Each structure stands twice: as C-alpha cells, then as structure tokens.
Structure 1
Amino acid sequence: MHDDAIEPFFATLAAANPSPQTELEFTSVFELLCAVLLSAQATDAGVNKATKRLFALAPTPQRMLDLGLEQVTELIRTIGLFRTKAKNLVQTCRILVEQHGGAVPRSREALEALPGVGRKTANVVLNVAFGEPTMAVDTHIFRVANRTGLAPGKNPLAVELKLLERVPAKYAVDAHHWLILHGRYVCQARRPQCERCAVRRWCDTAASTMPAEG
C-alpha cells in the first residue's frame, strides 16, 4: 500500500464507524483484562456468554480468588482451553491482590508479568482501558495488514511495529479496532468480501484482482 493511500484508507473506515469498540463485554478494567485473557482461540460471543456468569459472581480479583479454581473452571468450561485459562486467571488475580492492591497495572511490563497475559493482551488493555495507541495484532489484523499491504510482516510483532510506523497519529487509538472488525466481517480468511469492501481501492490484493473503478 502506497503511503498516500493510508490516510484515505483509515478515513473511510472511520467514517463508517466513528467510535469502534471491542465486542467483548465488560464493566471495569479488571473485567476487560479477564475477558481478553479468556479470548485466545475463542470467539468474543463465546467469551461473553461465559463471563456474564463469571462476572456476576466475581467482579473483582478478590471475589475471583474467593470463588476458587474449581468453580472458576466450571464457569468457563464452554471456552476453549478452559482449564489452563482458569488457572492463569486465578493466578493473575492473586498477583493483582498481592502486588497491585487489586488494581490492573498500567505498564506493559507489569501486565505481561501476569500469567496468561502476552503482548497482544497487554496491548488490548493499554488501548481499550487506558487509551494508549497500541496495536493488538490478532489473526484478523495480521491477515488484513498483510493482504492490503498496509503493514506486511512475517509475524505479529513485525506487523505491530510496522503499523505503529505507518498509521497516522489521529487514527492510532482506534486503528486496531477498525482492522479487527474489517477482518472479521469483510476481509475474511476463506473468502474476502472484496465486492462490498469500502477500502478495496487502496488494497494491494483487491487492486490486482478486481476491475478498476470508474
């Protein structure tokens, strides 16, 4: 993607969805952290179904610890990898209580020190909860960034760093939401919906496969 295409690419996404939001449901920074931790290899809808029950009983780290591993495991058993995620969640809550006064830390280093929290999860929390212009590269963003030519890279970190370099500052906070939603609903893995894509004119792949627009 040419540099001069990036501004209209994001302007078009922004016009269609001025205030993009994560599709995970939460009412606090702690609940956001839990939801993102649970979302690996799971759909947002599946996570929301489980966390609705979980958060009703345990809306704080201490309440989660009070539930105990066995009950937390049972409450999230509909989510993939639920046993490992339950263990990580309980261990994370223990660290939050013992080392952070029950609050979710704002630094990347502290977030990534939590069990089950990697760079992508930390980026989501920093962005959604604290408004930082991070790029949480999931499978959708990785695909869209490479397919469009916006930020090609061989691994998520390479794509993340390229996005940080190329995305204009005024779009940086919301950029990862637009790219996720675009990948989830339009630029899909098996069959990209190029015929109804609003940004196809700036996409490297669509430009090579579709007739030029008049």
Structure 2
Amino acid sequence: MEHWKPRNTDVLSALVGEYQFLHLLRGRVYDKLIDYLIEVGPAWADEESDFILPTIKGISAKLGEKHVSKWIPIIADDLITINLEKPELFKTKDTYSLYLLHTYENSDDTSISYHIWTDKHFHINERFYWHFAKVKMYYHLFFIEDIRHEYRNGIISTEITLNTGSQNDYRKFLLQRALFENKISLSEVYKLSEYTIDQMLREIYR
C-alpha cells in the first residue's frame, strides 16, 4: 500500500474518537471545527446512539466555513505533535501507565507514534484495534510485536511496537537464530526495513 494517503473522512472519524483531548488545540484557526467535534464526540462514541457523523460538506455548511477539508489533516498533525511533546496532558482519571505506541506496515514506511495512558497491561502477539491510527495509516488492526521498557531519570517508560502484518512464528524463530549466531546484528534489526531483513534471512538459511 505504497504512497497511500488517508482520506479526510477517515481522519475526521478518527479525530472524533479523540474528542476528549481536542480542547488542547483550542485557540487556533480551526476552533469552530474543534468545538463541533467536541460537541458531537460523546454521541458518536456511544454504541447505543443512532448518531451519524455528517459529511465534510455538511459540516462545512453547518459551521459556515469553507476550510474544513483543509483543517482536518492539520488538526490530526497538531494533535500528534502535542501528544508527543507533552504526553502528560493526555493523562485521564484512573490511568497510571504511560505507553508510547509505534506502528509500521511491512510493505511501507508509513507509521504513527502516539502516547496513551491506561491501567491495562499488554502482551506480545495480542491484537490491538486502534481507530486513531487511520489518520496516517490504511490499517487500524494490529498485533503487538514488541514491548520495550526504559528507566531514565527516575521514570519508567514503555514503548509498544504494533505491526499490521500477520504473525509469523517461523520468521521469528529464524530471526532469533540469526541473532544468536551473530549473523544479523540487533542494530540491523532496528535500522533496516522488514523486507531487507527477510531477504537477509533467506540468504542465510536457504
């Protein structure tokens, strides 16, 4: 899915799903749209509600603004930026663990990084449905590929890598074997693309 560009309709619905944090972006040119998304967010999130999000054209007419389509991807980028720079602003009641989600697609370099606060614990290979990922990616259903913890300056941080590909236990076995036998280095695993690593494994164990 190379060079795929997210549709504004997908980005809009993903933003409504984050309505509880959109107030952090107030004071900018798109305030009218922010206020509208915050207003309709609870009804959109309510599974028992029959609320249907209007079309972008409908929202533009309701707000009397012709720049709604232009604002949607800008709001998504601004929300991601403030999330990465000030994750503490996204902490909600009864959540105590901070995680940095990082996604990627095997067939592309498309990715998104985003902090979440939760009281849940995660495990490798679990499925992870993340609607907000559609602001940047084609997929929104992942599996947890890796979990890494870091302790620095008295704070423990955790990074979770989400992959859109299918789980491949045999590939994992070959990769672990190659690492153990020093035929592939850990730095190569983190620096090189999935495709390149796959080619290296095929050459080593053909």
The two structures have a TM-score, normalised by structure 1, of 0.27
Higher helix fraction (1 or 2): 1
The two structures have a TM-score, normalised by structure 2, of 0.27
